[in-house]
Structure 1
Amino acid sequence: MPCALCGDIIPAEVARCPACGAWARRRDFRAVGVAVFMLLGFNAFVALGSGLSLLRFSDPLRHATHSDYDAVATAEALAPYTELFKISGIMAAVTGVLYLSWLWRARAQSPGPHRHHRAWVLLGWFCPVVNLWLPARTVYEIWVNSGRYRTAERQAAGVIVAVWWTCVLFGVLLAYAFSRSGADSLADARFDVHVGAAAAACQAIAATLCMATVFTITRLQTAPEELARGRA
């Protein structure tokens, strides 16, 4: 098949172009990256809409008093947001399947060095305790190894990945707390709304930062060799 970058013919038995070193399936990898990017954007918009809606819902509670507060009506009004977080979780799971497929290929195309075996790209997301830090570490290694970065640029990438993963963890925890909290009193309802808004904000920020990592890594690994190496 012809190389997507230089046009040279790639033999079927090799994985890289003998002329420029490009991966034979680089174009397919870019298509998967674009799909993941778009799904993450959709997740970010849904989370952002949920957070803004919850903030608007907090206005009546701010002016309410204990005498006119209706716990039953408030609980019924908040119930759809719990279902919305469940739907967001399902959407995130679907996006995650495609994201892991993209991450697996990105790890294979990353030159290294890597601290962990390639299998941990998948296992790291499902092993308890390990999944609190290893996914972020894997993404960071793939990112910085896909290009030649200065120290300051590596630190900036580390900050982006750290903020992304922190928002992921807090978004999951806060969404769970929102689904378990009640609205028996006015104070509980106000707290519940703020927790839900914080969960939505964390999810929106996490999806946006993940979009940035997917875009950057995909661009580095699908660019010509001199661009993939980064700045001299």
Structure 2
Amino acid sequence: MPCGLCGDIIPLEVVRCPACGAWSRRRDFRALGIGLFMLLGFNAFLAMGSSVSLLRLASELDGTSSLSYDPGSVSTTLAGYRDVFVVSLCLAVVTGVLFLAWLWQAHGQTLDKVRGHRLWTVGAWFVPLANLWLPPRLVLEVWLASGRYPLPRRHGVSVVVMAWWSNLLAAVGLAQLFPSMHAATLADARFAVQIGTAGAATLGLAATLAMAVVFHVTLLQLRVPPARPAQG
């Protein structure tokens, strides 16, 4: 591929341009994909850990009677989990920014042409209503355009992308609902823990499925040289 700095041809097996020493863009993309993959893994680890911990709390509440229930203690415990959700949200924002940078670059170097302008890889996430269905469609098209799949495998890719998006939307909704839950009664506390467990579990699943998306698209694009110039 041509060097973005001097225009000399960079062999795929080298990291820097032989003429000027500039880093290869494909190597930059590989580093971006690895960094995003690891950050998504940390998101999944944190979310799944919270889910397991909340399941233990739910088990303790199941063995508690209304007479022995202490709302103050449970409220304090749930407040700690709310803080964990805030941390997870901040981490998700950082991960999302990195994901958009990765998707932007992946869109510009697919094997086949992707429908829609490259700007939609960022803009689709911020357009009301359209951001409910455009992002997974773009991710799916970038994945499919990065390799040539037979029809059965295309359906499998679609299932993975839709499962990722469904879990992500569910996680966002449950994470917003959980902070408003209270623990005045035992029934309220059990319901709050169930909401928190579901929110953490869906967030963990979404992060895990996103890891699969990033891994496969990055691997496909590193194996196959781009057949067209990057879209502006």
TM-score (norm 1): 0.87
Percent identity of equivalent pairs: 46
Deviations 1:89-131 (A, max 9, x none): 0001111111111110000112444332211100111111111
Distance 1:187 1:97, change over 3 A: same
Equivalent runs, 1:170-181 vs 2, <5 Å: 170-181=170-181
Partner Cα distance (1:107, 1:113) in 2: 9
CA RMSD in angstroms, aligned pairs only: 2.1
C-alpha contact 2:46 2:88 (8 A) present in aligned 1: yes
Displacement after TM superposition at 1:180 (Å)? 1.1
**Equivalent residue letter for 2:25:** R
1:165 matched residue in structure 2: 165
Q: Detail structure 1 runs of 4+ shifted over 3 Å in the superposition.
A: 9-12
2:107–2:118: 8 Å Cα contact kept in structure 1?
A: yes
In structure 2, how many angstroms separate the alpha carbons of the residues matched to 1:49 and 1:199? 12
Confirm or deny: 8 A CA contact 2:136 2:165 kept in the other structure: yes
Deviation, 1:10, is 8.4
Query: Shift of residue 30 of structure 1?
Result: 0.6
TM-score using structure 2 length? 0.87
Pairing of 1:138-149 with structure 2 (within 5 A): 138-149=138-149
Q: Which residue of 2 aligns with 1:35?
A: 35
User: Is 1:223 paired with 2:223?
Assistant: yes
Deviation at 1:3, TM superposition (A): 2.3
Cα distance change on mapping 1:10 and 1:114 into 2, 3 Å: farther
Change (3 A) 1:3 1:61: same
Q: Which moved more, 1:85-94 or 1:64-73?
A: 64-73
Alignment size in residue pairs? 216
Aligned pairs (5 A) from 1:5-154: 5=12, 24-154=24-154
Q: List gaps (5 residues or longer) in structure 2.
A: 4-8, 227-232
Q: CA deviation at 1:11?
A: 8.5
Distance 1:6 1:57, change over 3 A: closer
Deviations 1:110-166 (A, max 9, x none): 244433221110011111111111110010000000000000010000000000000
